[in-house]
Structure 1
Amino acid sequence: MNQIVIREAYQTEYPQIGEMMVQVYSSLEGFPQQEEMPEYYEMLLNVGDLTEKEHVSIHVALDDDQIAGAVVFIKEMSDYGSEGAATSVLNACGFRLLAVDHQHQGKGVGKKLVAYCLEKGRVLKRERLIIHSTKPMKLAWAMYEKMGFVRNEALDVSKEEIQVYGFNYYY
């Protein structure tokens, strides 16, 4: 693996990022499939639309100029775009939809994307960074906890398709 470079995604990369996210999420064992959550998968496919909100940006991890992974970073939680209490938390940032392309998994790309988001939050002088995860995302969940994220049940969201669990990282 070459040096991973992380930068803000170009608009022209949004469709490729969306397709990668659909592939990654639909392959998670136990995660609802496209027919079970069509609106969610439509949102993934059109992930670039999320950047229409003022405080939302997409960032890519590049390995040899290939998109190895991506994440959606949210500077202000009011633009987080989820159900539940997370959108009302002040002085916090967050990230959503972290995905690592299948051929780049297990190489530390996800960890580098998380560290990148944590640094962005630190620069913004936020008190905490908020994320959500699910049980089928067990590898990511373990990584988050090793990196210092703490479960916060007050941020949990229960959807009929799947339970979504909230986490905080306190600066």
Structure 2
Amino acid sequence: MNSSAYLIRKANPSEFSEIGKLLIDVYSQLDGFPKENEMPSYYKMLENVGEFTIQTSSELLVAIEDETIVGAVVYFDDMTNYGSGGIATLEQNTAGFRLLAVSNNARGKGIGYLLSTECIKKATESNLNQMIIHSTLAMKNAWKMYDALGFERSEDLDFPQGQMTVYGFRLKLK
């Protein structure tokens, strides 16, 4: 992986629509992930991902390759705005990230890893105790990366989302 080929930065509001389309494209193609007609409110949230930035504790980050957005993630340095089910939003002194996606033609290049490590760096710089993330079985390919980053499964963070189970992970930062 040539990490210098990618720029990780805060998304510009003019890019929010493009990022929403990227998220919808990636998530709708995951085997075993609900389709838009099965979870319309979730896909509406993906489409309007830029709305997370209304909260000052949230940032939409993008990975850029040759002036093209190839990945994105939403970082939270306050879990009250994280927006998941279960107990995650009650965690104190905790960061999280959600909606990590890498375009289909950029997979396998370490972009998800770069976006994840940028979120971990932000949480560490904010002197937070831990980071929480969630995933599904349809996203299990990413679990190896989360494990390599030091995340551990945390069943207390699991919750149901329709017919699907959402699995929680924690990374101790201190």
| TM-score with structure 2 setting the length | 0.96
State which of 62, 65, 69 in structure 1 corresponds to 2:64.
Answer: 62
Cα distance in structure 1, aligned partners of 2:86 and 2:56: 20
Cα distance in structure 2, aligned partners of 1:141 and 1:96: 14
Query: Deviation of residue 159 (structure 1)?
Result: 2.0
Q: Which residue number in structure 2 is paired with residue 30 of structure 1?
A: 32
Say if 2:140 is the partner of 1:138: yes
Cα distance in structure 2, aligned partners of 1:155 and 1:53: 23
Q: Which residue number in structure 2 is paired with residue 103 of structure 1?
A: 105
Deviations 1:106-134 (A, max 9, x none): 11000000011010010001110000000
Deviations 1:62-88 (A, max 9, x none): 011110100000010011111110000
Q: How many residue pairs get matched?
A: 171
1:150-161 correspondence to structure 2 within 5 Å: 150-161=152-163
- Structure 2: where are the runs of 5+ without partners? none
Q: Which residue number in structure 2 is paired with residue 169 of structure 1?
A: 171
- Structure 1: where are the runs of 5+ without partners? none
Residue aligned with 2:144, SS: helix
Q: Which residue number in structure 2 is paired with residue 82 of structure 1?
A: 84
Say if 2:126 is the partner of 1:129: no
Deviates more, 1:129-138 or 1:2-11: 2-11
Identity %: 44
**C-alpha contact 1:37 1:161 (8 A) present in aligned 2:** no
Residue aligned with 1:137, SS: helix
Deviates more, 1:139-148 or 1:7-16: 139-148
Deviates more, 1:48-57 or 1:87-96: 48-57
Say if 2:23 is the partner of 1:43: no
Cα distance in structure 2, aligned partners of 1:53 and 1:154: 26
Deviations 1:23-47 (A, max 9, x none): 0000000000000000000000010
